[in-house]
Amino acid sequence: MEATAHAASGGTEVHASAPRRSWLFTRPTAKTGIVSWLTTVDHKRIGLLYGISALFFFLVGGFEALLIRIQLAVPNNTFLAHQTYNEMFTMHATTMIFLAIMPLSAAFFNYVMPLQIGARDVAFPRLNGFAFWVFLVGAIILNIGWFVKSGAPDAGWFGYAPLTNKTYSDQFPGDMSTDLWIMGLQILGVSSVIGSLNFIVTIINLRAPGMTMMRLPTFTWMTLFTAFLIILSFPAITIALVELMMDRYFGTSFFEAANGGLPILWQHLFWIFGHPEVYILILPAFGIISEILPTFSRKPLFGYPVVVFSGAVIGFLGFGVWSHHMFTTGMGTVATAAFSLMTMAIAVPTGVKIFNWIGTLWGGHLQMRTPMMFALGFIWMFMIGGFSGVMHAAAPADAQQQDSYFVVAHFHYVLIGGSLFALLAGIHYWFPLIFGRKVSEFWGKLSFWIIFIGFNVTFFPMHFLGLNGMPRRTAVYDGNMGWNDANLVSTIGAFILGIGIAVYFIVMVRTYLKGEKVRRDPWDARTQEWSLPTPPPEHNYDVIPTIHARDAFWYEKTHKAEIAREKAEHAREETAHGGIHMPSQSWFPLLAATGLLIGAIFFVNHHYEGAIAGGLLFVFGVYCWASEGPGGYHVHPGDHDDKDAPKY
């Protein structure tokens, strides 16, 4: 479906003129308004959709956390019923992992990665839109429970058998809370795998000329590793969930101990996914930090190849350490020792990265801007989480810490102090690129300090709570256990953290509306995405850049004449081919995802006719998607305002 007519000069876009196309296949062309967002295939818009949804669910998950902390503030509290408490900790964890941190990482993958490699979009733009809509379907399914009689899922985020079987999880016949959890996670898995396949192909196949693999920005490298981890680890949980679903719906006994099933198998399958998932959450953070530190240290990243390869080693070893979540299940001494050693080994590449970041800072001309504050906070806090992680690796110590608040302290240090700090740093860092405005340093740093203090006040006491024997997931504790003070401090900290997050987001919204406008490249950064105007035009690059060095934009800034010559030549070539080819928007990714939503809702309610109808709508959506073809239209650069373009 190439556009046959070329734009007359002055016209911005020419759409494929397909005579006698039925209304069904008329491509939407809206560039503003709700339709433009529902049908978008632009990786930047999809990135924003991911980001906004993720932040919404982040606030939901945070609200659940505050309710948990209120319940635990004083002994023998009756603020939440036990059942509600179970729903809270299950949904807090599930929401934060699958609906906040992962999609927020996906938002950066979508928005930043194609810009960094000098591409105009991902390899399969409609599939990218589909991945987002499927994510939203999974998020809706997971959260429907709040609004129905069954209640939200309540079996814990890792859903250990036999808690998930009908005897234990169903409060009444037809209780669908666990079914919602199973279905929601399966759908989210589909979304993650589809998105990741797209990223893998994009990074390998859509790099700009000269962008060799060893010139890829570190964030793009970490995107690639994360994508591989996702496609290789999600199948394990998907199959485990399928087996659980067969148990609950069709009478198999995979995890039914009464009929000879092995509940321990669920633990193995879950953690074969669950441990790589930990690295799925943290590797994007490593990538973001590895972009921010060089920019604000005014130095190239120290030991780039080592940073890249240690990321690969972490991803590889991440598949061999799952049983350290199961040291107390009685696996036998050999297995325990082996997994213990592997777990300690994985600290080595992680430590290597820390030293690389210190090396980057060392002797640098440090600029203490807000993203840098979060990045430095990340290094420190993530290290604390890493140290307690190494303590868990020692199996005898872990036998004491297992299922205690020490574990809760550990994983919040790596997830908030690690992943979340880096993602908040990334939002500050790329905000000027995305919206053309910059957060005020005062308010940015203020929010950082409140978050930093609140975070430590909340979670540091949990180490002691855990060592004093407080079990995790406990809704009520007695006043004479010696846990009162630490719990109260922790709750106060949680509210400080909440205020910090509130300040952070209020400042973001205010900046979006009224913040200081910035010109291109406000941080004097090093990677290719900063060569774009803020915000970037729909087609990203007027001229696909040629990459000459690892810090591609830095090279561009220091070799202006050479780059200008190249660009003029490439622009001529592209014009000769009819301008910039852009993918057309489409309704069908949304339609197919809607079919999935309808089918899934009927399925969890055991209405199989409705489930089949939803499935048919899905198939119809995919069929139309295939039939309409990739489509496309041409854009001619130079039509958009690019007033602050660098003068070569």
Partner 1 sequence: MSTHAATSAIDHHHDPATTTGIPSKKLFMWAFLASDCMFFGTLISTHLIYRLHPTPGSPDPRKLFSLDLTLFATLVLLVSSLLMALAVNACQKNNIRSVRRLLLGTIVFGLVFIMCQIFEYGNFLHEGLTLSSSIFGSTFYTLTGTHGCHVAIGVLWLTLMYIRTFKPADERPWVLRSLGHFLVFLVVVVAGVTSVLGAAHAIEAHGLAAGPLAQAGRHNLVAIIVTLAGLAALCWLGRARKAVDFTESNAIDVESLGLYWHFIDIVWIVIFTVVYLLEYL
Sites of contact with partner 1 (CB under 8 A): 2, 18-22, 24-25, 123-124, 193, 197-198, 200-201, 204-207, 211, 231-236, 238-240, 242-243, 246, 250-254, 259-262, 265, 269, 272, 577-578, 581, 623-624, 626-627
Q: Which amino acid is at 509?
A: V
Q: How far is the CB of 243 from partner 1 (least distance, A)?
A: 7
User: Could you give the CA distance from residue 581 to residue 15 in angstroms, rounded to a whole number?
Assistant: 10
Q: Which two tokens stand for residue 590?
A: 């949304």
Comparing CA positions, the residue from 414, 450, 425, 299 lying closest to residue 373 is 425
Q: Which two tokens stand for residue 302?
A: 């120290």
**DSSP 3-state of 516:** strand
Q: How far is the CB of 197 from partner 1 (least distance, A)?
A: 5
**Nearest residue (CB) to partner 1, 252 versus 484:** 252
Q: Where are the beta strands (DSSP E) in 228-363?
A: none
Residue pair 498/457 in contact (Cβ under 8 Å)? The answer is: no
User: Could you give the CA distance from residue 66 to residue 63 in angstroms, rounded to a whole number?
Assistant: 5
Q: Which amino acid is at 316?
A: F
Comparing CA positions, the residue from 487, 353, 608, 392 lying closest to residue 77 is 487
**Nearest residue (CB) to partner 1, 326 versus 486:** 326
**Nearest residue (CB) to partner 1, 24 versus 358:** 24
User: Could you give the CA distance from residue 510 to residue 1 in angstroms, rounded to a whole number?
Assistant: 43
* DSSP code string of 543-585: SPPPP-SSSHHHHHHH-HHHHHHHHHHHHHHHHHTTSEEEPPP
**Nearest residue (CB) to partner 1, 510 versus 581:** 581
Q: How far is the CB of 153 from partner 1 (least distance, A)?
A: 22
Q: How far is the CB of 204 from partner 1 (least distance, A)?
A: 6
**DSSP 3-state of 438:** strand
**Nearest residue (CB) to partner 1, 119 versus 285:** 119
Q: How far is the CB of 138 from partner 1 (least distance, A)?
A: 17
Return the C-alpha torsion angle 39, 43, 46, 47, nearest 10. Answer: -170
Alpha helices in 117-158 (DSSP H): 125-144
User: Could you give the CA distance from residue 372 to residue 297 in angstroms, rounded to a whole number?
Assistant: 9
Residue pair 103/16 in contact (Cβ under 8 Å)? The answer is: no
**Nearest residue (CB) to partner 1, 157 versus 234:** 234
Comparing CA positions, the residue from 546, 521, 549 lying closest to residue 536 is 521
**Active site residue ranges:** 92, 121, 157, 191-192, 275, 277, 279, 290, 324-325, 350, 353, 472
**Nearest residue (CB) to partner 1, 243 versus 521:** 243
Q: How far is the CB of 566 from partner 1 (least distance, A)?
A: 18
267: CB partners within 8 A, 6+ apart: 158, 160, 161, 325, 326, 329
Q: How far is the CB of 251 from partner 1 (least distance, A)?
A: 4
Residue 298 is given by DSSP the state T
List 13's β-bridge partners, or say none. Answer: 635
